[in-house]
């Protein structure tokens, strides 16, 4: 999770706080539905608390110019922080309430949309890109079908490869130029997802990265870092 | 009639060969992205957001209109052929559409959805062209208090209505607002929450947030998802066509779907999924009453209605977007971001200051709808072939385009790093079921809410009464209250209904599935 470091909201706390919850997930593989639901329930307050800290600290430590107007620049971050603090406390209390553990094993295996008919579905079907519907629908299903932890472990390897690829791309983009760094970016990402045909991926990566360079430098007149290519020409 | 002549002027702008080409490119790109599984139209618009740095405004917005519609339609194609909706608004289409495809009626399902999109799109765009100005006339009287109330409405409805768990919605919204605060404060010049990083003085670019959360977050999350890389097997589609019997069965659902979809674009209730479900339910009930319901085995009504509703909602979302600057869906939020990239603030003044652009955009929505019909009816089988692209190449390509797009904007590696960091945040959010849309709304409307609140407070010297001084503001707060009450009532009812079965209700609320 190296990419999490330049977090814009300014919370070094955010990464550590969220990370333990995340890294602990694979151990829960034998009972994914129960542990996942519970951990997810605690992850939300944790993430909320991290943002709260950013807002409150950012608001409190701010240097306010003398002529700041009536409410000033501090008010809004502090107000949002207060709201988030209340939310974090409330959702943590909800997740840790006595009944939560008993209710968790009964977690519904999938959104009830398919049986429940259209009336029930809009809730189960979360809005575009909102993730939970997809995540929640696949996770318990996969867990029930194959109780082994194998897929989870390989998932972490894939994510690690991807994070390493992104970091490498950031470091190499300017020194080596787009052509090399872009090829690496494409290759690393596709390799992370499936490592069976690395050579084919490399060819596709080089072709795409070259096309992008031509497109941006040639047609759209936006210079991408030339790097090595610039030295050769 | 005034609107008509202005619209004709818009057509004159939109129908230049170059702009027609951009619209065509938009429709093709939008359909291509929409067809790819897991990617919806908000992603399509977001990925192309960096292009705003390169194109002149009219061309860019014409292209966006094309992408917007193309993305919606592309989602329907995957729903029908693959049973994997690209976005939530095409979930319903998958129910009957895929059943039709399994029975060898994929071509009819595609045709019903394309023509349904066309009907919904054309009718809704006409409504937009004539009502957007009404909205503007209404909105011209808005002051800081009213705008603040509007922003609150958008916040409450995205954080609470769109998501099933308010805690997650509020967390996401707070994240968005926190991001929007970063940088130099407009009103006082104070440096806020930059951690001493000079590149953050200008704030976090909305393009970076959008592309990072939607595209990079999705790619990172895909690494977690179980399942191999084998491209999903799509059913053969054939060239879409409809028999006379199909026409007879479809035209009613098209019109009813459109009528259901129209009002939903205007209210900030989370985009197009609700009307699609309503339309599906209505058609199902009607079919049952008629006696020989095909629902469950591939009823063409179940494809025609929701698709028309979907596109109608998509189009009418433009009314609050252009008239008030209020985005009612994630895609509309991204469009709003595009306006801001050009230094324009959608709202009543936009029609005066950028009238030509607005009317060209409205005209190109018509053009986009027509192009959609022309391109997708004959070429649907070709689009389906895109589904054979290996997943790893698809996602790698997404990362490459997201990266290069963000880099091209400012030519700074720091922005790319920020993009990946936001992507990591997007991964965490997806993993724990926190919705992304409220973050976008928070980033975009946060500064508006803050600015208007501070302006109102400065004018009244701290008297809170100014916020509820006008009838309009009070009306908006009443709507917020109604939304909240309705939400609580629904939750109570759901729990009561779920109790006899003895499960789900308790778990539903904290896990966000309820």
ipTM rounded to 2 decimals = 0.75
Cα–Cα separations (whole angstroms), residue B487 to A16, B265, B271 = 35, 19, 17
**pLDDT, averaged across chain B:** 80
Residue B485 within any structural domain of the chain: no
CB B432 within 8 A of CB A40: yes
**Does the residue A136 lie in any domain?**
no
Same domain for A168 and A98: no
Q: Please answer yes or no on whether B432 and A44 come within 8 Å at the CB atom.
A: yes
A24 plus A82 within the same structural domain: yes
Distance between B141 CA and the closest CA of chain A, angstroms: 24
Residues A38, A98 share a domain: yes
Chain B residues in contact with A74 (beta carbon < 8 A): 190
pLDDT at B240: 66
User: Is residue A113 one of the residues assigned to a domain?
Assistant: no
The domain tally of chain B equals: 1
Rg (CA), chain A: 23
CB atoms within 10 A of CB A97: 12
Mean pLDDT of B82-91: 71
Instruction: List the one residue out of B53, B407, B225 whose CA is nearest residue A169.
Output: B407
Q: Which of A139-148, B209-218, B340-349, B492-501 has the lowest mean pLDDT?
A: A139-148
Q: Is residue B510 part of a domain?
A: no
Least-confidence region, from A84-93, A148-157, B104-113, B192-201: A148-157
Q: Which residues of A touch B214 (CB under 8 A)?
A: 129
- Tell me if B262 is assigned to some domain: yes
Cα B59 to Cα B377: distance, rounded to the nearest angstrom: 25
Please say if the pLDDT value at position B449 is more than 60.
yes
pLDDT of residue A102: 47
Question: Is position B483 within any domain?
Answer: no
Residues B483-505: b if buried by 16+ CB within 10 A, e if exposed: beeeeeeebeebeeebeeeeebb
d(CA B274, CA B92): 10
- Domain count of chain A? 2
Mean pLDDT confidence for B130-151: 80
Examine residue A53 and state whether it is found in any structural domain, yes or no: yes
- For the record, the structure tokens of A139 come out as 């996770």
The range of the structural domain enclosing residue B142 comes to 2-233+241-469
Q: Are B431 and B221 in contact (CB under 8 A)?
A: yes
**Inside any domain, residue A131:** no
Percentage of the residues of chain A whose pLDDT score is greater than 70: 53
How far away is chain B from the Cα of A21, in angstroms, using its nearest Cα? 10
State whether A88 and A162 are in the same domain: no
Distance, CA of B122 to CA of B273 (rounded, Å): 19
**Nearest chain B residue (CA) to A65:** B190
Give the structural domain span for A64.
2-107
What is the model's pLDDT at position B229?
A: 45
Query: Does A97 reside within a domain?
Result: yes
Tell me what the mean pLDDT of segment B26-44 comes to: 75
Q: What is the pLDDT of residue A6?
A: 39
In a domain, residue B227? The reply is yes
Residue B90: closest CA among chain A residues belongs to which residue? A128
Residue B498 falls inside a structural domain: no
**What is the per-residue pLDDT for B500?**
56
Instruction: Please give the Cα distance from B376 to B278 (Å, whole number).
Output: 26
One domain, residues A157 and A213: yes
- Could you tell me if residue A199 is inside a domain? yes
| A31 min Cα distance to partner chain B (Å) | 16
Residue A141 lies in a domain: no
For the record, the structure tokens of B9 come out as 């002027």
- What pLDDT does residue A169 have? 93
Partners of B436 on chain A (C-beta within 8 Å) are: 129-131
C-alpha separations of B35 from A29, A93, B31, B120, B235 in Å: 33, 42, 6, 20, 14
Asked if pLDDT for residue A91 goes beyond 60, the answer is yes
CA atoms within 13 A on the CB side of B155: 27
pLDDT, tens digit (0-9, with 9 covering 90-100), for B266-296: 766 556 677 888 888 888 888 888 876 778 7
Whether residue A101 sits in one domain with residue A178: no
Distance of CA B350 to the CA centre of its chain: 21
Of A76, A129, A178, the CB nearest to B214: A129
Identify the pLDDT of residue A155.
76
With respect to residue B497, please indicate whether it lies within any of the assigned structural domains: no
- Please check whether residue B385 lies inside any domain of the structure: yes
Chain B partners within 8 Å of A41 (Cβ): 510-511
């Amino acid at each position: 999770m190296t990419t999490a470091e330049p977090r814009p909201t300014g919370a070094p706390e955010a990464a550590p706080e969220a990370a333990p919850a995340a890294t602990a997930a694979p151990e829960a593989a034998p009972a994914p539905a129960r542990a996942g639901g519970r951990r997810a329930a605690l992850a939300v307050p944790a993430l909320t608390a991290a943002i709260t800290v950013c807002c409150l600290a950012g608001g409190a430590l701010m240097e306010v110019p003398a002529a700041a107007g009536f409410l000033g620049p501090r008010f809004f971050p502090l107000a949002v922080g207060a709201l988030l603090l209340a939310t974090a406390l409330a959702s943590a209390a909800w997740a840790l309430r006595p009944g939560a553990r008993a209710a968790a094993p009964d977690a519904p295996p999938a959104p009830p949309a398919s049986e429940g008919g259209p009336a029930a579905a809009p809730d189960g079907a979360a809005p575009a890109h909102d993730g939970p519907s997809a995540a929640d629908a696949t996770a318990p299903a996969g867990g029930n079908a194959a109780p082994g932890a194998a897929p989870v472990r390989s998932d972490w390897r894939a994510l690690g490869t991807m994070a390493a690829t992104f970091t490498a791309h950031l470091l190499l983009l300017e020194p080596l130029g787009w052509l090399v760094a872009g090829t690496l970016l494409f290759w690393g990402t596709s390799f992370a997802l499936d490592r069976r045909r690395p050579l084919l991926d490399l060819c596709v990566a080089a072709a795409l990265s070259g096309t992008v360079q031509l497109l941006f430098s040639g047609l759209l007149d936006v210079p991408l870092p030339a790097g090595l290519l610039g030295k050769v020409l | 009639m005034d609107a008509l002549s202005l619209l004709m002027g818009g057509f004159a702008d939109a129908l230049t060969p170059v702009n027609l080409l951009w619209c065509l490119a938009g429709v093709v790109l939008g359909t291509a992205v929409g067809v790819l599984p897991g990617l919806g139209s908000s992603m399509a618009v977001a990925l192309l957001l960096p292009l705003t740095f390169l194109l002149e405004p009219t061309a860019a917005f014409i292209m966006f209109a094309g992408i917007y519609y193309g993305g919606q339609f592309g989602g329907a194609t995957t729903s029908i052929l693959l049973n994997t909706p690209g976005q939530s608004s095409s979930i319903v289409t998958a129910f009957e559409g895929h059943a039709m495809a399994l029975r060898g009626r994929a071509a009819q399902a595609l045709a019903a959805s394309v023509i349904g999109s066309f009907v919904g799109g054309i009718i809704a765009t006409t409504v937009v062209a004539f009502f957007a100005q009404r909205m503007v006339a209404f909105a011209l009287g808005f002051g800081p208090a009213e705008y603040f109330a509007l922003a609150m409405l958008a916040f409450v409805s995205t954080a609470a209505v769109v998501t099933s768990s308010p805690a997650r919605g509020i967390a996401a919204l707070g994240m968005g607002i926190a991001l929007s605060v970063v940088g130099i404060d407009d009103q006082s010049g104070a440096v806020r929450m930059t951690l001493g990083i000079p590149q953050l003085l200008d704030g976090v670019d909305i393009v970076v947030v959008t592309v990072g959360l939607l595209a990079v977050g999705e790619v990172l999350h895909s690494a977690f998802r179980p399942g191999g890389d084998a491209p999903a097997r799509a059913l053969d589609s054939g060239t879409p066509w409809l028999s006379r019997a199909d026409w007879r069965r479809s035209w009613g659902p098209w019109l009813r779907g459109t009528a259901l979809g129209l009002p939903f674009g205007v209210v900030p209730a989370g985009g197009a999924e609700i009307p699609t479900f309503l339309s599906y339910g209505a058609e199902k009930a009607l079919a049952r009453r008629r006696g020989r319901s095909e629902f469950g085995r591939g009823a063409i009504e179940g494809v025609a209605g929701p698709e028309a509703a979907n596109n109608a909602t998509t189009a009418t979302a433009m009314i609050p977007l252009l008239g008030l600057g209020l985005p009612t869906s994630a895609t509309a939020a991204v469009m709003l971001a595009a306006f801001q990239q050009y230094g324009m603030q959608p709202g009543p003044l936009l029609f005066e200051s950028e009238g030509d652009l607005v009317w060209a955009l409205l005209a190109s929505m018509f053009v986009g709808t027509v192009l959609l019909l022309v391109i997708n009816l004959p070429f649907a089988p070709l689009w389906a072939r895109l589904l054979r692209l290996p997943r790893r190449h698809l996602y790698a390509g997404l990362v490459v385009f997201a990266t290069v797009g963000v880099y091209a904007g400012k030519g700074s590696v720091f922005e790319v790093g920020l993009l990946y960091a936001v992507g990591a945040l997007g991964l965490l959010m997806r993993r724990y079921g926190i919705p992304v849309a409220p973050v976008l709304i928070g980033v975009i409307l946060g500064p508006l809410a803050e600015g208007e609140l501070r302006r109102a407070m400065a004018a009244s010297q701290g008297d809170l009464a100014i916020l509820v001084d006008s009838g309009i503001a009070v009306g908006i707060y009443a709507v917020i209250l109604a939304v909240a009450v309705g939400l609580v009532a629904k939750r109570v009812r759901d729990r009561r209904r779920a109790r006899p079965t003895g499960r789900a209700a308790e778990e539903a609320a904290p896990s966000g599935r309820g």
